[in-house]
Amino acid sequence: MTGFDALLAEVRACRACGEKLPLGPRPVLQLSPTARILIASQAPGTKVHASGIPFSDPSGERLRQWMGVSPAQFYDATAIAIVPMGLCYPGRAKSGDAPPRPECAPLWRERLLSSLPDLRLTLLVGSHAQNHALGPGALTDRVRNFAACLPAGRFPLPHPSWRSALWTRKHPWFEQDVLPALRLAIRRAWPEGGWSGQTRDDHQSAVR
Ligand code: SF4
C-alpha cells in the first residue's frame, strides 16, 4: 500500500468526532495525487452522505454548470480533487446544515492537501473554505474581486446551494463576469492533453 492509499484508508476509518455526527462518520471526498484542481467545499449534506459521492445533489448540478464541466469531467479524480472542510455530514442547524465539524480540518486538511503536489487551482466554495484559506472576510466582496486571488491559484465562489439562486439574481455580475473567468481558469488548470476519458470508477483511490 502506498503512503497515499494508507492516508486514504486512515481518513476512511476516522471516528474522531463520530459521537457528534447524527448519521455517524462517513467521510466523502475525491482525491488522486495527480489532481490539478481542488474543490475546497463545506461538508456533505444528507444526499451526499447517503450516496457517498461528493456533490451528488442539486448543489453539485449547479456547481458543475458554473464550472462548465460534465459529470464525467467533474468525477475524474485524476483532474479534480474534492475535499470539504468537514468530511462527514455535520447535522442540522437552525437554518440549514450545521457548519463543518471543527475537529476535521485540523486533523486532516494539511495532510490531504500535501498529497496533491500538482494543484494549479483551488476553488474556495463558500465562506468556511474562504475563511480557512484567506482569513475572515465578506463572501460577496471576495467573489466580486476574484481576480485578486487568481495569482495565488485561488478562486472564491459562493456555496452552490438553493440559496445561491437568490444570490446570483441579486448579483448579475456573477454570471456575466465571474463564471466566464472561472471556466477559463479551469480549462487552463486542466491536465495537459485534455479530458482523459477516465471516470471515478477507474480510480481505486477515489474515496466513496
Ligand atoms: S468529520 Fe472529520 S474528524 Fe469527524 S469523523 Fe468525519 S472525518 Fe473524522
Express each pLDDT in 9-36 by its tens digit.
999 999 999 999 999 999 999 999 999 9
Output the pLDDT for position 194.
66
- Please return the burial class of 44, using the count of CB atoms within 10 Å of its CB with bins 0-12, 13-18 and 19+: buried
Cα gap 122→8, rounded to integer Å? 20
90 lines ligand 1 (CB under 6 A): no
The beta strand positions in the chain, using DSSP E, are 37-40, 80-82, 92-93, 96-97, 121-125, 154-157
CA torsion through residues 17, 18, 19, 23, sign: positive
Q: Is 75 within a domain?
A: yes
Element spanning 187, H or E: helix 179-189
Q: Is 99 within a domain?
A: yes
Helix orientation angle between 58-67 and 179-189, rounded to the nearest 10 degrees: 80
**92-144 per-position pLDDT tens digit:** 998 888 999 999 999 999 999 999 999 999 999 999 999 999 999 999 999 99
Only one residue has cell 453539485, namely 60
Output the pLDDT for position 200.
42
86 lines ligand 1 (CB under 6 A): yes
Q: Is 176 within a domain?
A: yes
List, in order, residues 6 or more apart from 154 with CB less than 8 Å away.
Answer: 121, 122, 124, 133, 134
Longest dimension (CA), the chain: 50
Q: Is 104 within a domain?
A: yes
18 lines ligand 1 (CB under 6 A): yes
Domain that holds residue 67: 3-195
Q: Is 202 within a domain?
A: no
CATH no. for residue 134? 3.40.470.10
Question: From ligand 1's centre to the CA of 76, what distance in Å?
Answer: 24
Q: Is the pLDDT of residue 166 over 80?
A: yes
* Closest ligand 1 atom to 15 CA: 5
Q: Is 201 within a domain?
A: no
Q: Is 158 within a domain?
A: yes
Cell numbers representing residue 203 in the block:
480510480
List, in order, residues 6 or more apart from 115 with CB less than 8 Å away.
Answer: 3, 4, 7, 31, 33
17 lines ligand 1 (CB under 6 A): yes
- Please return the burial class of 15, using the count of CB atoms within 10 Å of its CB with bins 0-12, 13-18 and 19+: exposed
Please state the domain count of the chain.
1
Cα gap 119→153, rounded to integer Å? 9
Cα gap 141→144, rounded to integer Å? 5
pLDDT confidence tier of residue 201, bands split at 50, 70 and 90 = very low
98 lines ligand 1 (CB under 6 A): no
Helix orientation angle between 104-113 and 3-12, rounded to the nearest 10 degrees: 160
**pTM more than 0.85:** yes
Q: Is 112 within a domain?
A: yes
